[in-house]
Chain A
């Protein structure tokens, strides 16, 4: 492009020559290469651009040359027409007017020494007539055309040759075979086409007026006081006809036309280039997209396969789980049934022994039997709690809207009924509702309230509280007591199965209740934690899922 700008103002032919050296032709075949691979696109594009620009410049050069030739040709035609007209006029003057004049002199209709350039001097008449011609041109908005019959020895100083015109006159005199001369010249920085022709070779007849002064008609002598126009010799070209037509306007038009042509061509080329780049870009993008689509399809297939295998694994795992669940079911059913039967036998027959043989047994023997029965009772409770824990894990959750306050009220009532001597005081916040499985949430509350009831039973004024509060934006429920409490160091053991922080003698229990509570709450999507200090009571804070 830089080249183009540099050359656009110069000689088109020069542009052509300088561009032919460029490796345009080497660049052209890479057009195809450019289409096949991304790595080749850059050099291909450069070569193509160069070729395109060179082509445009060549075309512009040719166009400019053609337009210039046409413009010059037209200027020449104009000049020629003007010349031919003027020459015709000269001839009319010389071949019609002069003989008529001489004839009239011969017939003595005109005085022999009469002379007036207005009717006799062809150069005068043609100059005047050319003045009118130029006036008419200017009226039409055209630039005037310079016309002069230049002579080194003019009668009228207006016709005095410039040094350049003198040179031309000399040239024509030295080489008589030369009939014309044409040259582009600069006048005041503007281009003109100059046309010069030998005007007149002095003949014997001419010498009458152009020979010696004293031989010329008296009128002529009187009119021209100097020696200008006299003393000519026959066979010498006396004057040269100079005509100069401006080229600037036509040149301007040629420049504009070719500039527009080049601009259009370059624009077109830029468009084609852009289009090619765009197409290649679209193609690349399409390929990339197709690749992406393929990739996506592949990923989708992978995901589908993965899903299938996952589904299969889930199915297998579900089957395994179902089978495990069935086994667990059978196991707990068996535990529920078979493990309790021997216990019942031990307890029952111990009781029978006590009843039937009580009289024969001493106090210690009766105590032994009581211990056997207490052991049976504890084991029975343990089995019962274990079954509850197992059920809490297996049971299908059926969430419902529950009146928790009401549930707590009922449980508190049951607890008080079960321990008529208790002084425990229940404070229950009213209207607390939550969502969960009725039986399982009841089990949770039973455990928590049962614990609170149990562990506060030794306090002077047992107090048990159920309420709700908002913690970190979540609705939580709490069961608080003023019982023995526990050391927070053991808090993590609290919710493990069979974990107890007190001896059975202090507080009876199996250590399964809180494990069951935690499992139920977890299955609801909830949590539970405890806060306590020894002797300061405990607070169990829980959430139900979904709040």
Chain B
């Protein structure tokens, strides 16, 4: 068997699973977070992850023009996503603190597992936390790093191994990424605070589902590339 098939399928599989893992780590509060009623960033899971991954894809595409090292391309994409998430969460916190006057606290744990700061007495009653506390911030940064890495890995496999045209590779990588992100979003049901959230324990199911979907996508990419005459 041609090793190129294995490369393509493996990269898409790993990329898809990392995308799913990344989504589970993001602190996403959805609509309630916009009213400071839930902890996390005030937007949908898929939108936030996609925003970060798109930043990663942009940088990965630039880097792929001047290096053909897969790890460097994937890491560049990961760092772009990590910066996007970091700046977004930091400035969201600025708005929470100075615009709405709330203290960032977690609603799911009584004590921040990283900084050991107590959370409970700072929380408004009848709220599920508010703002982006430190533990969620770090969890989100790790999630963006993994998600961006996965997205960039898929892009590189499509570009260099399956010989897609750059824009087409970008669109295809994004499509596979979105499929995995949506599965993960269903699994967490709208809001999650990060790895400290009890919902994070649902991860194995999503990883399995995303693994199967990514595997199918990888095979499909190979079929498209082969039938389209892209792999000679």
User: Do A and B make up one complex?
Assistant: no
